[in-house]
Structure 1
């Protein structure tokens, strides 16, 4: 399996082996525990807009964003608005209406101007990460 194939795998379970540190050997017994953090990426062409690339790390159980990276060929003013948006979105539940309210609030509170991207396009890109 190539490294590119591994990028597209979504590991659902993580294997944990019990280790006996006193005898320095692996025990035959192993446990399977559910993986809690998922990583996902999306590439989205905003209608009549620019290309948007999103990388999201989120909690699988409660759909809360743990980390997000927003890139693409859109323009934004002020320049630090993307980093601000990433910080503010952290901790938000991946749900369309809640994300849309949060993004619109950030845009209006910080007087952010996007060219080639709007709040709906950004939210759609984030939602595409949640498979």
Structure 2
């Protein structure tokens, strides 16, 4: 099992994405940092959305999640900030 970690310093907040990868499938996704998201459970739902999928599907799944969840408010951070952290985690940066 390989552990991935990626961090991105957004305009106002750090986004950290961690997950384990087993045979190209993602497990144990954790998204943390010092950013604000409302509703708070949206981050947990995003983690669950990404788990159990192939690593190459993650960016598309993240796009889809935010497209469906128009109620999610993220002052000072945006989906691109999350995607940068995700790409860094995938590359192992």
The TM-score normalised by the length of structure 2 is 0.79
Runs of 4 or more, structure 1, over 3 Å off, are none
Q: List gaps (5 residues or longer) in structure 1.
A: 1-36
How many residue pairs get aligned? The number is 90
2:51 aligned with 1:90: yes
Which residue is 2:7 aligned to?
43
State the Cα deviation string for residues 80-108 of structure 1 (Å, max 9, x = none): 1111110011123333xx43331122123
Quick check: which one's strand share is greater?
A: 1
Which residue is 2:15 aligned to?
52
Whichever of the two has the greater Rg, that structure is 1
Q: List gaps (5 residues or longer) in structure 2.
A: none
The TM-score normalised by the length of structure 1 is 0.59
Quick check: which one's helix share is greater?
A: 2
Aligned-pair Cα RMSD in Å: 1.8
Comparing both chains, which one has the higher relative contact order based on Cα–Cα distances under 8 Å and sequence gaps of 6 or more?
A: 2
